[in-house]
Amino acid sequence: MTLTAQQIINNPFLNKGTAFTKAERDRYGLNGVLPPAVQTLDQQVAQAYAQYSQKPSALEKRIFLMDIFNHNHVLFYALFGQHVAEFMPIVYDPTIADTIENYSALFIDPQNATYLSIEDQDHIEDALKASADGRDIRLIVVTDAEGILGIGDWGTQGVDIAVGKLMVYTAAAGIDPSQVLPVVLDAGTNNESLLNDDLYLGLRKQRVYGDEYHAFVDKFVDTARTLFPKLYLHFEDFGRSNAADILDQYKDQLTTFNDDIQGTGIIVLAGILGALNISKQKMTDQVYMSFGAGTAGAGITQRIYEEFLQQGMSEDEARKHFYLVDKQGLLFDDMADLTPQQRPFARSRSEFANADELTSLAAAVKAVHPTILVGTSTVPGTFTEEVVTEMAAHTDRPIIFPLSNPTKLRKPRRKT
């Protein structure tokens, strides 16, 4: 099929803007559709970066970059590729939290995403085909947006996390952007601010759980892997009640990955191994505490635990090195609301003379004396001087990773 000039310049996968050469303009009928000057890609990048630099806030910078993405993928990735370190917190975390929270109000373009509703499952196949538009899709990042970053349930607006993640895949790992597809599974939302927002673009109902929800996920996965047989499926920011179950269901059926459970865990492990390389300590001598025991916290803990096993420790002995602290304090095995991922690391109250008092991070640190402390909660200001001093009193080189999101929940430092 021969494309018209307008079809070419309005397709972000094909459009090069003023970088179309004279020969290309003759071939595709672009003469007079673009200004007569022919720019190089380097000139376009310099021009765009100068405009970017004038934007007064991180949010305005991200909106500017997304406008380029919507029109010209070649320019977007050339610009991003030259400024990866600078752009990463703009394109992705933490600025993406602001665009997710304001997605409906800011919406202009779907950015090649697919929006699937639990109330319109008959069109899953049609929607995926239309979004792919004949492209050879090899990678899908899909979210149901129940557990976005540290900001929780954002319904359809969470699609932006899938869009942003795929941008990082391309800029940092060289993944062909024509072979990726962001998808959101809209099963409703429990976010009352969205349900009461006239501008909200998602499904206006309480979030669906149970068999109906899992049937929706199953239909999407079955359809996607039928349409795209070379698919790598990345699950992103699913809620703690579903994330691990979905990963366990599909991990032996297709190439799949959950970033919150697996990706963050392997990065934290790399950080710990790096720290131990400096301190010359052994992994199996460490006492690990996670503040935050949701999907990410429990997933990271599981990955570090697996490293203990790989270094020769038995399962029972390894579990003695791990402690989870959540909003109610240290997790104990008699708590009724433990998730399957938390339960293996919950402690017995009989281990502590003051178990009923271990309801805060500071109390837990004082009782346990961890050598590694990882934060994956949304509670700001918890890694206090008291906590750090207590850790340092019992280990020469404490390892502390405050990973919690989003940035806006962190308390500002006191001026001295």
Question: How many domains, the chain?
Answer: 3
Residue 415 domain-assigned (yes or no): no
pLDDT bucket at 176, cuts 50 / 70 / 90: very high
Tally of CB atoms within 10 A around 91: 25
Domain of 192 in residue numbering reads as 92-239
Question: Tens digit of pLDDT for each residue in 191-239?
Answer: 999 999 999 999 999 999 999 999 999 999 999 999 999 999 999 999 8
The reply to whether 69 falls in a domain is yes
Dihedral sign computed on CA atoms, order 339, 218, 229, 147: negative
With a CB cutoff of 8 Å and minimum separation 6, the contacts of 17 are: 9, 34, 39, 44, 71, 72, 75
The reported pLDDT for the residue numbered 324 is: 97
The answer to whether residues 62 and 96 belong to one domain is: no
Same domain, 212 and 309: no
User: What mean pLDDT is predicted for residues 66-95?
Assistant: 95
Q: Is residue 248 part of a domain?
A: no
Q: What is the pLDDT of residue 47?
A: 97
73 and 175, same domain (yes or no): no
Are residues 404 and 284 part of one domain?
yes
- Whose tokens are 């394109």? That residue is 91
pLDDT over 90 percentage in the chain? 86
Q: What is the pLDDT of residues 230-287, one digit of tens each?
A: 999 999 999 888 988 999 999 999 999 998 888 888 999 999 999 999 999 999 999 9
CB 140 within 8 A of CB 181: yes
**pLDDT over threshold 60, residue 407:** no
Q: Does position 86 have pLDDT exceeding 50, yes or no?
A: yes
pLDDT single digits (tens) 122-155: 999 999 999 999 999 999 999 999 988 678 899 9
pLDDT surpassing 60 at residue 401: yes
User: Last residue of some domain: 239, 273, 302?
Assistant: 239
Residue 312 included in any domain: yes
Residues recognised as catalytic: 92, 165
DSSP per residue over 241-296, as a string? TTHHHHHHHHTTTSEEEEIIIIIHHHHHHHHHHHHHHHHT--GGG--EEEE--SHH
Question: How many CA atoms lie within 13 Å of 197's alpha carbon, on the beta-carbon side?
Answer: 20
Q: Which two tokens stand for residue 318?
A: 């390894």
Average of pLDDT values for 79-91? 95
How confident is the model over 14-44, as pLDDT tens digits?
A: 999 999 999 999 999 999 999 999 999 999 9
Separation in Å, CA 361 to CA 90, 101, 150, 198? 32, 29, 18, 40
**Mean residue pLDDT across the chain:** 93
Among residues 28, 62, 82, the one where a domain terminates is: 82
pLDDT of the residue at 317: 96
Tallying the residues shown for the chain, one arrives at: 416
Q: Write down the pLDDT at residue 365.
A: 97
Residues paired with 372 in a beta bridge: 288, 399
CATH of the domain at 145: 3.40.50.10380
CATH number for the domain that contains residue 41: 1.20.1370.30
Same domain, residue pair 393 and 287: yes
Residue 347 has pLDDT above 50, yes or no: yes
Question: For residues 199 and 172, what is the distance between their CA atoms, to the nearest angstrom?
Answer: 34
The domain boundary, picked from 45, 63, 82, lies at: 82
Dist CA 54 CA 206 (whole Å): 41
Q: Are residues 311 and 385 in the same domain?
A: yes
Which pLDDT value is given to residue 310? 95
Q: Please list the helix, strand and coil fractions of the chain in percent, rounded to the nearest 5, in that order.
A: 50, 10, 40
> Using the 8-state DSSP alphabet, how is residue 57 labeled?
S
Of 85-94, 192-201, 257-266, 297-306, the range with the lowest mean pLDDT is 257-266
On whether both 116 and 65 belong to a single domain, the answer is no
Q: Any idea what DSSP says for residue 222?
A: H
Asked if residue 163 has pLDDT above 80, the reply is yes
On whether residue 276 sits in a domain, the answer given is: yes
Pair 50, 176 in one domain: no
Q: What is the CATH number of the domain that holds 335?
A: 3.40.50.720
Gap between the Cα atoms of 114 and 229, Å rounded: 18
With contact defined as beta carbons under 8 Å apart, do 369 and 395 qualify?
yes
Distance, CA of 232 to CA of 251 (rounded, Å): 11
pLDDT tens, residue by residue, 359-398: 999 999 999 999 999 998 877 788 999 999 999 999 999 9
Same domain, 405 and 285: yes
Q: Region 391-410: what's the mean pLDDT?
A: 80
Identify the sign of the CA torsion 347, 349, 353, 355: positive
* One domain, residues 215 and 287: no
pLDDT of residue 413 exceeding 60: no
Task: Examine residue 157 and state whether it is found in any structural domain, yes or no.
Answer: yes
pTM of the model: 0.84
pLDDT band per the 50, 70, 90 thresholds, residue 4 = very high
Instruction: Please report, rounded to a whole number, the percentage of residues in the chain having pLDDT higher than 70.
Output: 96
Residue in 34, 67, 35, 32 with CA at minimum distance from that of residue 48: 67
> Does the pLDDT of residue 406 top 60, yes or no?
no
pLDDT beyond 90 at 182: yes
Residue 123: predicted pLDDT: 97
CA 181 to chain centroid, in Å, comes to 15
Q: Are residues 118 and 194 both part of a single domain?
A: yes
Q: Is residue 293 part of a domain?
A: yes
Same domain flag for 40 and 58: yes
- Say yes or no to pLDDT of 412 above 80: no
Is 383 within the bounds of a domain?
yes
Give dist(CA 9, CA 89) in Å, integer.
29
Let me know if 90 is exposed, middle or buried by CB neighbors in 10 A (0-12, 13-18, 19+).
buried
* The pLDDT of residue 408: 56
